[in-house]
Chain A
Amino acid sequence: MIRLRLEQRAATPAWFYVALPVAAMLATLLLCAGLVVLAGGDVIEAYGTLFLSPVASRFALVETAVKAAPLIFTGLAVAIAFRAKFWNIGGEGQLLMGAMAAAFIGGREGLPAVSLIPLMILAGALAGGIWALVPALLRTRYKVDEVVVSLLLNFIVFYGMMALLDGVWKDPLSGYPDSPDIREEAGFPILLPRTRLHLGVGLALIAAPLVFVLMRKTVLGFAIRAVGENAQAAAYAGFSTARVTMATALLSGAMAGLAGVGEVAGLHYQVMAGISPGYGYTGIVIAMLAGLNPLGVVPAAFFFAIVITGAEAMSRATGIPVYLSDVIQGTALITMLIALLFTRYRLRLKGVGHG
């Protein structure tokens, strides 16, 4: 009889951090292949369309990048927060706050045109950050569990936003629950002519290395990691865990807020009910897939952007429901969590009887 058992590793080889996510994704696709078959599709054809159509043309590539931008931001938000063991599940709400702040500033007639874009970015980041401070304050002050608070705040913002959209922001002409368009000058410049590649995509690609530097090369990043790994030792060493937690929340929320700014200023030019199809939640999966490494967030976000955009093409071509994309996202989280186990443990094959 052969038995499998887990044994602790003394050290984790560096190549694991690349190999594990790749292995997890392959496992995900294998598991989901069963569903493709159940839906009556051909696995090769379905996956071929799913993964090739989003990268097959310049246009498709740009669309994938546009999709990836908010995912990079929400992924970074989670990668920062989880490092400090501040379990911010509120990326979705913080994104909506950022979007609303951007729409509010972008629609102001009184502001000088050149100030609009910087102000929108600033206001969006601030709105997301402040919204993330709520669970942080409740946790540091009263030891209230931030998972519950940050999660439930998502619904509060969403319904608050809907109240705005059905109330003062309602489009008087169409009667749709859409906010008024932001001003022409408030829209993000397009980076590649005749595409939708907007400034927000560039910002996301710059933000990832900046966050990486912040986490690895600054005292604040050191403090975030120290507090996350052992808050007590960090406190004895002179770090204020409350202040570090708040700084973490502010940064994390700001990233999620920027995701909202990009969607408003770069893509929709207004806020509407479906502005985020759960980017905040997808950010959690992306950050886990990236092993909380800010640089890893970029490929992880692109992978998800491909799955999301490719699923539509696949559905059109093969008739398999688009929801396969959601299943893949969920399965990816689970396989990645299992894969992470192997950074700490190794599997040993043991024949019983001669151990």
Chain B
Amino acid sequence: MAQALLEMRGITKRFGAVVANDRVDLSLLPGDILGLLGENGAGKTTLMNVLFGTYAPDEGTIAIDGKPVAIHSAADALALGIGMVHQHFHLVPSMTVLENLMIGLPGKGLRLDEAGARARLADVKARFGLGLDPDALVSGLAIGEQQRLEIIKVLFRGARIVILDEPTAVLTPQEAEGLFAALRAMAAEGFGVVFISHKLHEIRSLTHKVTVLRQGRIAASLAMSDAITDRQLAELMCGHELTPPVKPASETGEVLLSLDGVSTAGGRRVRLRDVSLQVRGGEILGIAGVSGNGQRELADVIAGMLPVASGTLQVGGLAVRETSPRVMQALGIGRVPEDRMTTGLITSLPLSDSMVLPLVAKKPFSRFGFIDHGAIRRFVTEQITAFGIRAAGPDARTGTLSGGNLQKALLARELSQDPRVLLAAQPIRGLDVGAARFVHEQFLALRAAGRAVIVISEDLEELFQISDRIAVFFEGRVMDVLPIAQASVARIGLLMSGQEAA
């Protein structure tokens, strides 16, 4: 057997009474693509942070090429050839691709080695198909390209072990395929790749081995083969059996929200052009489209953050002339935003503050401008129990919750207001199977209660699972709205690329 590139043995990491990693073993041979699978809070990120030197393990050893090492910082990890591509990018938007690559690299004396960097960039493109214009500004790059730049950065620093934390969450299916091709090329050259994901089909198509973590322990470590079913993986991950949510037939009621010829001013944002949409009670409307085709703007218009330049917006049959977040909330629009951490909740404040953020000015949370902390506490404690939010309590700092629990907290907050229309953008992005299912069940419950749900998603599988109708956006326009019975992936795909259905 070949010498393992990386060998982690008996890694244990405790945070107070919580054991985030409990005697975890992990090994990576040259040429391996290892899938790391697990629910939110299963300890995947902690394990990688231990490997990357962010946390010191309480027990256990790490060996690189068979030699025991101590990793105390990201710099140590990099020096040992370990590179990590985070979910959130660390790039300087105002600099070019080449400049971003040269940050932290040794230059020629006091000067930067620009020619060398260009040559290496060309080399990376030739070997792995990771190409980028060296002189393009990072601020102008699409998300997929920024991610490619992060990977190239890691390669430039001499990484032989590349860790990717949920890399496909921000990519279109085509971009994801491109990424997989590059990762396979890297493995073929003897690199070790650790691929963290929730998406079972990706793990299946890409990886050679899979390690499943559950509650900080290894639930299974398997060689990937066709004999392993998605269901088995999902059960290993959650520890219980999963059945997909069933979508019962439902009666559609009155139109609860309608946009009629709505356009917005452009500026630095995508312009909505003549958008007409209706959503009825008892209906889930899916919004499909490649990222950046006006879905974000649609969400902001409905949330009251982006003014309508022309056309009419009606809620429950009433035309809304002056929109604002307050007005839209008062009209019964609930909102689960795409960016949980930046526009939904406030990570640095206690969970209780985050959970009453849009509600605090209302009774019973405040009276005459004075806050009733007792009422807030009772409400938050109730919601934590009702939604099974895993948090130390109402006073826990919001940012200490995992992605799935943050999403539950947001949902709990919005649903507590009994919204007529719930707008959810990328609601299951970055969520594990169990949490995603929970979110979808909430949508179906709203639908059954005669409310309307709008789901904006780049995950077509999700849209097909829960939508009654799917509207496709392209360059700020609605290309078409299809009832789910008439929708197919091929047809939606064509509309997403701007081609009228034949």
Instruction: Indicate whether A114 reaches chain B with its CB closer than 8 angstroms.
Output: no
Is there contact, CB below 8 Å, between B345 and A233?
yes
Partner of A5, one of B72, B305, B337: B72
Chain A interface: which size bin?
A: 20 to 34
Provided the pairs A218-B369, A218-B370 are in contact, do residues A353 and B360 lie with their beta carbons within 8 angstroms?
no
Pick from A54-62, A95-103, A219-227 the stretch touching chain B: A219-227
Which residues of A in the span 8-22 have a Cβ within 8 Å of any Cβ on B?
8, 10-11
Provided the pairs A230-B347, A233-B344 are in contact, do residues A220 and B369 lie with their beta carbons within 8 angstroms?
yes
Is there contact, CB below 8 Å, between A236 and B337?
yes
Is there contact, CB below 8 Å, between B371 and A5?
no
Is there contact, CB below 8 Å, between A238 and B353?
no
Instruction: Indicate whether A237 reaches chain B with its CB closer than 8 angstroms.
Output: yes
Q: Contacts of A8 on B, CB cut-off 8 Å?
A: 54
Which residues of A in the span 223-266 have a Cβ within 8 Å of any Cβ on B?
225-226, 229-230, 232-238
Is there contact, CB below 8 Å, between B70 and A236?
no
Is there contact, CB below 8 Å, between B371 and A355?
no
Q: Contacts of B204 on A, CB cut-off 8 Å?
A: none
Partner of A10, one of B73, B370, B400: B400
In Å, the complex CA distance between A218 and B342 comes to: 24
Question: Which residue of B has the minimal Cβ distance to A221?
Answer: B371
Instruction: Indicate whether A194 reaches chain B with its CB closer than 8 angstroms.
Output: no
Instruction: Indicate whether A217 reaches chain B with its CB closer than 8 angstroms.
Output: yes
Instruction: Indicate whether A108 reaches chain B with its CB closer than 8 angstroms.
Output: no
Is there contact, CB below 8 Å, between A11 and B397?
yes
Partner of B324, one of A10, A219, A238: A238
Instruction: Indicate whether B220 reaches chain A with its CB closer than 8 angstroms.
Output: no
Is there contact, CB below 8 Å, between B335 and A355?
no
Instruction: Indicate whether B248 reaches chain A with its CB closer than 8 angstroms.
Output: no
In Å, the complex CA distance between A5 and B54 comes to: 10
Q: Contacts of B396 on A, CB cut-off 8 Å?
A: 11
Main secondary structure of the interface of B (DSSP, over half): loop
Partner of A230, one of B70, B303, B305, B342: B342
Provided the pairs A219-B361, A237-B358 are in contact, do residues A355 and B366 lie with their beta carbons within 8 angstroms?
no
Provided the pairs A222-B353, A235-B325, A350-B72 are in contact, do residues A230 and B360 lie with their beta carbons within 8 angstroms?
no
Is there contact, CB below 8 Å, between A236 and B366?
no
Q: Contacts of B343 on A, CB cut-off 8 Å?
A: 232-233, 236
Which residues of A in the span 170-218 have a Cβ within 8 Å of any Cβ on B?
216-218
> In the complex, how many residue pairs between chain A and chain B have their CB atoms under 8 Å apart?
88
Q: Contacts of A10 on B, CB cut-off 8 Å?
A: 15-16, 400
Q: Contacts of B73 on A, CB cut-off 8 Å?
A: 5
Is there contact, CB below 8 Å, between A232 and B342?
yes
Partner of A236, one of B55, B344, B348: B344
Instruction: Indicate whether B329 reaches chain A with its CB closer than 8 angstroms.
Output: yes
**How many whole Å from B12's CB to the nearest CB in chain A?**
14
Provided the pairs A220-B369, A226-B346, A229-B349 are in contact, do residues A355 and B56 lie with their beta carbons within 8 angstroms?
yes
Is there contact, CB below 8 Å, between B55 and A7?
yes
In Å, the complex CA distance between A355 and B50 comes to: 11
In Å, the complex CA distance between A236 and B360 comes to: 14
**How many whole Å from B415's CB to the nearest CB in chain A?**
16
Provided the pairs A233-B343, A235-B305, A350-B56 are in contact, do residues A225 and B353 lie with their beta carbons within 8 angstroms?
yes
Sorted from nearest, which 5 A-B pairs have the closest CB atoms?
A: A355-B70, A237-B358, A238-B325, A238-B326, A237-B357
Known pairs A218-B371, A229-B348, A238-B326; list 17 more (Cβ under 8 Å).
Answer: A5-B56, A7-B54, A11-B392, A11-B397, A217-B370, A217-B373, A219-B371, A221-B371, A222-B353, A230-B342, A232-B342, A233-B345, A236-B335, A236-B344, A238-B325, A238-B358, A350-B70
Cross-chain pairs A/B with CB under 8 angstroms, 14 sampled: A11-B392, A218-B369, A218-B370, A219-B370, A221-B371, A222-B371, A230-B342, A233-B357, A236-B335, A236-B337, A236-B343, A238-B324, A238-B325, A355-B70
